[in-house]
Amino acid sequence: MKLRLICVGQKMPDWVSTGYNEYARRMPPELPLELTEIAMAHRGKNPDIPRLMQRESDAILASVAPRDQVIALEVGGRPWSTEKLASQLESWQQDGQDVCFLVGGPDGLADACRQRADQQWSLSPLTLPHPLVRIVLAEQLYRAWSITRNHPYHRA
């Protein structure tokens, strides 16, 4: 089973890559965390935002396999505690399906991504910079795994 973070945006600052990679490398071999970056559609003067979001969504969904469990990260999604994420992680591992976490671009995810999602999750009611979401999500997945294994990383 794999955890896959599918994000709109490429060429992140070094601090983003460093933070994400730190937590991704900590994940155990039986539960790797992989990153798929989707090119952000160019937003010139007077962009057609719905069309650009659809283009990004098409690319995101092309990266998702039919059997994958899909979680869309949405401000309006359900808030999960770290313990709830740990419980979900155990359930996903029992199912054995790959899990894809979808992170949209600056305008969010198109309806097609939300409709494909099995669940919608909100990391926070705050609007977070998309590069930061990669790090927060990677850290929370590592923390959730550490809870399932009674690893000392999580000290709640």
127 annotated ligand binder: yes
96 annotated ligand binder: no
Residue 153: DSSP 8-state: T
137 annotated ligand binder: no
61 annotated ligand binder: no
Strand partners of residue 88: none
116 CB-near residues (< 8 Å, 6+ apart): 61, 64, 70, 72
3-state SS record for 88-107: HHHHHHHHCCCEEEEECECC
Cα gap 54→61, rounded to integer Å: 10
- State residue 13 phi and psi, 5-degree precision: -60, 155
Q: Which residues are annotated as a binding site for S-adenosyl-L-methionine?
A: 73, 104, 123-128
Q: Which residues are annotated as a binding site?
A: 73, 104, 123-128
